Amino acid sequence: MSVSPMVLLLSSLAPTASQAQDAPRPNVVIIFCDDLGYGDLGCYGNPTIATPNLDRMAAEGQRWTQFYVGASVCTPSRAALMTGRLPVRSGLCSGERRVLFPDSAGGIPASEITLAEALRDLGYDTGMVGKWHLGHLPPYLPTSNGFDSYFGIPYSNDMDRLPSAPEGRAAITKPRVEYFNVPLLRGTEVVERPADQRTITRRYTDEAVRFIDEHKGGNPFFLYLAHSMPHVPLFRSDEYEGVSRRGLYGDVIEEIDGSVGRVLDAIREGGISEETVVFFTSDNGPWLVFGRQGGTAGLLRNGKGSTWEGGMREPFLAWWPGTIPAGGMVRDLGATMDLYVTSILLAGGTPPGDRAIDGVDLRPAFFGAGPSPRDSMLYYRGTELYAARLGPYKAHFITEEAYGRDTNREAHDPPVLYHLEHDPSERFDVSAEHPGVIADIRALVDAHRETVEPVPNQLETRIGGE
Amino acid sequence: MSVSPMVLLLSSLAPTASQAQDAPRPNVVIIFCDDLGYGDLGCYGNPTIATPNLDRMAAEGQRWTQFYVGASVCTPSRAALMTGRLPVRSGLCSGERRVLFPDSAGGIPASEITLAEALRDLGYDTGMVGKWHLGHLPPYLPTSNGFDSYFGIPYSNDMDRLPSAPEGRAAITKPRVEYFNVPLLRGTEVVERPADQRTITRRYTDEAVRFIDEHKGGNPFFLYLAHSMPHVPLFRSDEYEGVSRRGLYGDVIEEIDGSVGRVLDAIREGGISEETVVFFTSDNGPWLVFGRQGGTAGLLRNGKGSTWEGGMREPFLAWWPGTIPAGGMVRDLGATMDLYVTSILLAGGTPPGDRAIDGVDLRPAFFGAGPSPRDSMLYYRGTELYAARLGPYKAHFITEEAYGRDTNREAHDPPVLYHLEHDPSERFDVSAEHPGVIADIRALVDAHRETVEPVPNQLETRIGGE
């Protein structure tokens, strides 16, 4: 059981000959939400949010139940998806400022090879629509990092608050578009400011559908559609006002569900279903401190900002008619970093060999040909490793509340240990019963630490600062 | 919004003419589990319990997300299902002894008209397999209450503990068949004691399949299959040992899932799918005090024994190929008492007109023809009404922990108020914002109380007692 991520990686990069030969080079579409909880979709047990399009996507494809993101907040999680690496390797994480802000001077380093760059080098057309949050200064924007085109907001929709906004939380819980001076970019140009967030999900969808229509039949394409929602402040278009039994939050999710329906319809009607793989997930768990305006992690503990399962385990759907078997549930482990590796392999390439990559090849699991090669997960908060999972066991070396003045940070030696598959809500510490498991997890962590090199922190530098 | 359950009932008993004419008289199968939680099935979001047969049943039928039982513990919940009435009307509930025990002298009164009696009077053949728990003395057994045949245990599988069993909880968490002197009955005869619980789910299934095979093509039939599991002590047959990623509890659920698959296969292979309606649910929520040997209520609060949602909201699947539309999710309200009313109506009868009935006619919702007529729910603990729901709002007049020495019972005036559809986990009290809603709920409760007549308590009398 004592294996390092690098060992995992090497073994997982050897698909069988038949897999490599049979698979076409598909278009790749990644639909990424913001702060969506594990329990927010109908097909994940939500009682009052109707998600018929996502439920259908699940029924036609795969629904995963142990799928992870690279961090429990926005910037580092997106860095993990785009680089295939834990954010500690790119410098896009910090314990102080946990994400990039409008006054941040940093962003994704030029040395990183983004998924868009890797796929473009393999002949793909690349487009991004939505929230980026890996740096808003010119060198960091999507069009400087592998995307042919970009339409979206560069950071979170609750930033750039204007003096007209009420103090404190009221600006978020009773939001108006004009409170948040967030820019909407096309390429590198600001085309609207503040972005009209009421229509932003619809307009993202329009852009995504147009991209698909324009690119079908040409080169293979990579489309990254990163919704700004359901991150607070919540907005939805008139068409979705009051549609959900779940209130405003439900309306917002149901608009995203409608968006997924439009994207899949564009793929179906474009006749490219069998040559397009679509992944759906989110950057991190629900922002619980926002109460009814935040989502739910279902049976998982805690949410966004924490290294409990509710912060880093997400709904994940994979759809590729004719290749990914319909109606499957996958209870193996997966992570957004694996989408980096897997997408590059599907495109006929090889993940970068000159650096540590934390993703593994999920093709066996997608194709129904075998188990996922992932059997571990590392849970960072900022630059500190708080917890690690090996097989079904998760050890918490540090626990801490997600937010608040007193976050009750606590270090544990021995670590608190949960059997996540028997105890998905992390209720029953079994550390006393399994010293050998703890030793294995410590070895995993030690092996991982040896692969981490010091890099400049991208989140602490400020515009005009030192 | 101020409507009484009786008003609901009268309006709901008027199906459209076309519904009444078109529907055949179906066979009725009710599969009832014991202590299954809202979050325990794959199709309700469980990450590590595999329930492919139940997931398929949901995909071929309907999955409900706001379906209630009549009480949060065994005996009164089963009384509600069998009589269509809240257990306070039949005397099968108490605040002291919350269920019937082996020394109990009481049981279901002869004056009650059970669902089996009602359907037998309509020409149905009736059979019961499994756990009864409405009285084990002769007048109370299933064959004295409308069932032509019976095979099962008369009360809970953790009762009748023998001296050989270890003290306290160890008998349950590390159970052996011989610790529990529970009898297995055929008709009214004890055929095995202690019942071999290791094979009990398989043998129940064998009986149910045999019943279906023997009755197909004859009179319409009513089969009530009430599993003893997953009530602790947990047992499963050799075939299911170690099959689940969720451990012992998962094995037990996966054996029940396999049982559902066998029952539906018997119906399919018998060629009676289109004339058989199958309902699947459980008596109450998960028994959380048993930790990893108990289930999960998913995102719902608390579990068995409490009047929080986790105690009384259950997974509910309805399956009737050709009549119940496939793949539907129903977010309307329903309850086990409605199965009483609806089954009688489907059989061409009329629910008893000489007494208060708390069920409503769910045919419109089953047929996809309209909303469920239910818009309220009453939450009793013993003979006391703790909470009431009207539309999306639930008022807690009393809250109390499910179990324990200090259950922290608290009365609330005004009641604590939750919007269950916006806040399914019952986190945010909105009583201050909605005095009108509270007034409506008080009126609902007052109207209900006027319909409740004093009856002898069936749970407090003991064999040989006064």
Per the CB < 8 A criterion, the answer to whether B153 and B184 are in contact is yes
Interface test with B, best of A48, A296, A302, A434 (most B CBs within 10 A): A48
Confidence (pLDDT) at A7: 38
Phi, psi for B275 (deg, rounded to 5)? -120, 25
Closest by Cβ to B247, choosing from A50, A66, A422: A422
B296 in contact with chain A, both atoms CB, cutoff 8 A: yes
Instruction: Report CB contact under 8 Å: A424, B47.
Output: yes
The Cα-based distances of A26 to A145, A234, A342, B72 in angstroms read 21, 34, 11, 51
Quick one: pLDDT band at residue B225, thresholds 50, 70, 90? very high
Which strand (E) or helix (H) includes residue B122? none
At position B282, the amino acid (one-letter code) is S
- Check if B5-371 and B379-449 are the same fold: no
A50 in contact with chain B, both atoms CB, cutoff 8 A: yes
What residue ranges in B212-302 does DSSP mark as E strands?
A: 221-226, 276-282
pLDDT of A159-210, one tens digit each? Answer: 999 999 998 889 999 999 999 999 999 999 999 999 999 999 999 999 999 9
Distance of alpha carbon B420 from alpha carbon B65, whole angstroms: 12
pLDDT above 60: residue A19: no
CA geometry: angle A403, A406, A408, nearest 5 deg: 90
Q: Which residue has the tokens 């305006």?
A: A293
Q: What is the ipTM of this complex?
A: 0.93
pLDDT above 90: residue B96: no
Distance of CA A20 to the CA centre of its chain: 26
CATH of domain A19-374: 3.40.720.10
Which residues in chain A (305-334) have CB-CB distances under 8 A to chain B? 327, 329, 331
Confidence (pLDDT) at A466: 53
What is the mean predicted confidence (pLDDT) over B100-115? Answer: 97
Closest by Cβ to B45, choosing from A39, A250, A428: A39
Residues A173-177: contacts with CB within 8 Å, 24+ apart?
A: A173/A232, A173/A233, A173/A290, A173/A293, A175/A232, A175/A233, A175/A234, A175/A235, A177/A235
Bridge partners of residue A376, in order along the sequence:
A390
Bridge partners of residue A416, in order along the sequence:
A396
Return the sign of the alpha-carbon dihedral for residues B168, B173, B174, B176: positive
CATH superfamily of B5-371: Alkaline Phosphatase, subunit A (3.40.720.10)
Q: Which residue has the tokens 């939805």?
A: A236
Instruction: Report CB contact under 8 Å: A292, B65.
Output: no
In chain B, where the domains are located: 5-371, 379-449
Higher pLDDT, A14 or A317: A317
Tell me the chain B residues in contact with residue A331 when contact means C-beta distances shorter than 8 Å.
Answer: 47-48, 50, 245
Confidence (pLDDT) at A465: 75
Tell me the chain A residues in contact with residue B43 when contact means C-beta distances shorter than 8 Å.
Answer: 43, 45
Confidence (pLDDT) at B2: 39
Phi, psi for B389 (deg, rounded to 5)? -110, 135
Rounded to a whole number, what is the distance in Å from the CA of B365 to chain A's nearest CA?
A: 16
pLDDT of B164-214, one tens digit each? Answer: 999 888 999 999 999 999 999 999 999 999 999 999 999 999 999 999 999
B44 in contact with chain A, both atoms CB, cutoff 8 A: yes
Closest by Cβ to B423, choosing from A292, A329, A419: A292
Quick one: pLDDT band at residue A96, thresholds 50, 70, 90? confident
Closest by Cβ to B421, choosing from A246, A327, A421: A246
**Residues whose CB is less than 8 angstroms from the CB of residue A182 and which lie 6 or more positions away in sequence, other chains included:** A153, A155, A156, A157, A159, A160, A193, A194, A195, A197
Which strand (E) or helix (H) includes residue A97? none
Instruction: Report CB contact under 8 Å: B50, A421.
Output: no
Q: Which residue has the tokens 């989110």?
A: A282
Tell me the chain B residues in contact with residue A419 when contact means C-beta distances shorter than 8 Å.
Answer: 247, 292
B205 in contact with chain A, both atoms CB, cutoff 8 A: no
Quick one: pLDDT band at residue A388, thresholds 50, 70, 90? very high
B120 in contact with chain A, both atoms CB, cutoff 8 A: no
Report the CATH architecture of B379-449: 2-Layer Sandwich (3.30)
Q: How many CB pairs under 8 A join A and B?
A: 105
Per the CB < 8 A criterion, the answer to whether B299 and B424 are in contact is yes
pLDDT of A128-156, one tens digit each? Answer: 999 999 999 999 999 999 999 999 999 99
Tokens of A423: 């105890």
What is the mean predicted confidence (pLDDT) over B363-391? Answer: 98
Confidence (pLDDT) at A2: 40
Tell me the chain B residues in contact with residue A38 when contact means C-beta distances shorter than 8 Å.
Answer: 45
Tell me the chain B residues in contact with residue A297 when contact means C-beta distances shorter than 8 Å.
Answer: 299
Bridge partners of residue B328, in order along the sequence:
B62
Closest by Cβ to B299, choosing from A43, A55, A296: A296
pLDDT above 80: residue B1: no
Closest by Cβ to B246, choosing from A39, A422, A425: A422
Which strand (E) or helix (H) includes residue A31? strand A27-33
The Cα-based distances of A15 to A19, A321, A367 in angstroms read 6, 21, 11
Which residue, B234, B212, B239, is CA-closest to B223?
Answer: B212
pLDDT of B253-292, one tens digit each? Answer: 999 999 999 999 999 999 999 999 999 999 999 999 999 9
pLDDT above 80: residue A1: no
B59 in contact with chain A, both atoms CB, cutoff 8 A: yes
Rounded to a whole number, what is the distance in Å from the CA of A104 to chain B's nearest CA?
A: 36
Interface test with B, best of A54, A317, A418, A422 (most B CBs within 10 A): A422
Distance of alpha carbon A206 from alpha carbon B379, whole angstroms: 47
Instruction: Give catalytic residue positions of A.
Output: 74, 133
Confidence (pLDDT) at B12: 44
pLDDT, chain A, mean: 94
Which residue, A62, A114, A113, A124, is CA-closest to A348?
Answer: A124
Instruction: Give catalytic residue positions of B.
Output: 74, 133
Bridge partners of residue B150, in order along the sequence:
B128
pLDDT above 70: residue A458: yes
pLDDT, chain B, mean: 94
pLDDT above 70: residue B379: yes
